[in-house]
Amino acid sequence: MTNPAAKAPAWRKALAPRAAGVVYAFIALLAVLTITSSAQGRPSYLSSVNLSNILEQSALIGILAIFMTVVLISGNFDLSVASTAALAGTVALKLIDGNGTFVAVLAAIACGALVGLVNALLVQKVGVNAFIVTLGTLTAVRGVVQAILDGKSITAHNTALLDFSTGRWELPVAVALVIGVALIALAVVLAVRSGAVREKLVAAWPLWLAGLLVLAIAGFRPNLLDQAVPVWIMIGLALVASLVLRFTVIGRNLYAVGGNAEAARLSGINVDRYKMGAFVLNGVLAAVVGVLYAGRFNSVDPTVLTGGELTVIAAAVLGGTSLFGGSGVVVKSVIGTLILFTLSNGFNVLNIGSNYQNVVQGTVLVAAASLYTATSQRDRALFRKRVARKAPAEPAPVLTKTGA
C-alpha cells in the first residue's frame, strides 16, 4: 500500500519552498521595501528607474552566477571567476589602444579560456581538489593582474568598450509581445510533445513565467524595455542556458555527471568532457564579464572585482543550487543575484548603514541554505521510505537437515 503523501502532485512540488522559495523570497522582499518606502513618504520603490538600476547593478554578477551554476551542477565549483574577470578586463584595456577592439577582446577571452582550462586539467586530469585548485588560481591570477598594472590604474583612450558597455537598447513593445507569446507557446509545445502535459508544463515554469512577465512589462511598464546592454546579455544567457540544461541531452548529461559521476561514466557519458567543459565555459564568460566591467568605467585598478566570487557563489546558493552537484536552476540563481542587489539597493534607499546590510545579507543567505538543506533531507527521507516499501521482502533461509 502506497502512501499518498509520498508522491505529491507535480504542481505541489513546483510550488514547494525547495522549488520556488527564492521566487517567494524575492516577491516578499519587494513587497516589504515597497511598503516601507511608502510609509516613510519616499518615492515608489517599484518605479521603472529604480528597477532598472537594480537590473544594471546585478547584470554582471548575474552572468557569472549563471555559469557558476553550470559548474556547480557538474559537481565542481570555481573560486577564480572574479580574478579571471579582472585579468580579462586588464588585458583588454592594455591592448585596445595599440591593437584595436577586436584583438583586445579576443585576447581577453583567450585568457579566460586558458584559466578555465588550467582549472579543468588540474581538477579532472591531475585529481587535485577543486577548492584548492581554484583558490590557488584565484591568488595567482590576481597576482598577474597586480603585476601587469604595477599597482596603478589604467585608462584607455579608445572608447569602443565604454560605448558598448554603457549603451542602451530598447526592445519594441510589439516584439516584446511576440516574445512573451512565443515563450508560453514553447512551454506548451514541449509539454504536448512529451505526452505528460501537466507535469511538463509545471517543469517548464521558467519559460511560461518569463513569457507572462514579458507580456506584463510590455503592457504595463514599457519603460522597462529600455535597458543597458549587460542586462540584455544576462537575460539572453539565462534563457539559453535554461533551455539547454532543461531540454537537451547535454543538459541531462550534465545533471547526471554532477549527481553521480560513476553512474554517468558507466552509462557511457564522458564525465571528464562535461566537467572540463563547464570550467572552460565559466572562464570564457568570466572574461566577457571582465571586458564589460572594464568597459563600463573604461579603466581598471589592481583591486577590481575583489571578493566578487563570494557574491557569485552566494547568489547561486541563494537560488537553491547544490554545492554537491546535480541540482540547480540558472533562472533561480539570477533571482538570487537580484535578491542580493535588491537588499543593497533597498538599504541605500532607506539610508540603512552598511554594517546592518552585511548582517541582513548574511542572515538571508544562511536562512536560505538552511531551508534548502532541511527540505532536501526531508525529500531524501521520503525517497528512502518509498524505496524500502517497494523493495521485495527477503525470503527466510531454508534450513535442511544433514545426516550424521
Given this model, what pLDDT does residue 7 score? 53
For residue 36, tell me if it sits in a domain: no
Residue 18's φ and ψ, nearest 5 degrees, are -60, -40
Q: What is the pTM of this model?
A: 0.86
| Cα–Cα nearest to 340, from 328, 358, 354 | 358
pLDDT tens series, the chain, 404 aa: 444 444 555 556 665 656 677 888 888 889 989 998 888 888 888 888 999 999 999 999 999 999 999 999 999 989 999 999 999 999 999 999 999 999 999 999 999 999 999 999 999 999 999 999 999 999 999 999 999 998 889 999 999 999 999 999 999 999 999 999 988 888 788 777 665 656 666 666 667 788 888 999 998 889 999 999 999 999 999 989 988 998 899 999 999 999 999 999 999 999 999 999 999 999 999 999 999 999 998 999 988 898 889 899 989 988 888 888 888 889 899 999 999 999 888 888 877 766 777 777 777 777 777 766 666 655 555 445 554 555 454 455 555 554 43
For residue 81, tell me if it sits in a domain: yes
- Whether residue 63 contacts residue 285, with contact meaning beta carbons closer than 8 Å, is answered with yes
Given this model, what pLDDT does residue 234 score? 95
Helix (H) or strand (E) holding 144: helix 130-149
For residue 29, tell me if it sits in a domain: no
For residue 72, tell me if it sits in a domain: yes
d(CA 191, CA 199): 8
For residue 227, tell me if it sits in a domain: yes
d(CA 292, CA 158): 14
Domain encompassing residue 295 = 8-23+58-343+353-372
For residue 339, tell me if it sits in a domain: yes
Given this model, what pLDDT does residue 366 score? 79
| Cα–Cα nearest to 330, from 342, 319, 314, 318 | 319
Phi-psi map region of 31: left, alpha, beta (phi>0 left; psi -120 to 50 alpha): alpha
Given this model, what pLDDT does residue 18 score? 63
For residue 32, tell me if it sits in a domain: no
Strand partners, 169: 227
Based on the structure, what is the number of domains in the chain? 1
For residue 298, tell me if it sits in a domain: yes
Residue 113's Cα: distance from chain center in Å? Answer: 19
Residue 239 CB neighbour total at 10 angstroms: 17
Given this model, what pLDDT does residue 128 score? 92
| Cα–Cα nearest to 13, from 379, 386, 324 | 379
Given this model, what pLDDT does residue 404 score? 37
What string of DSSP letters covers 48-96?
HHHHHHHHHHHHHHHHHHHHHHHHHHTT---TTHHHHHHHHHHHHHHHH
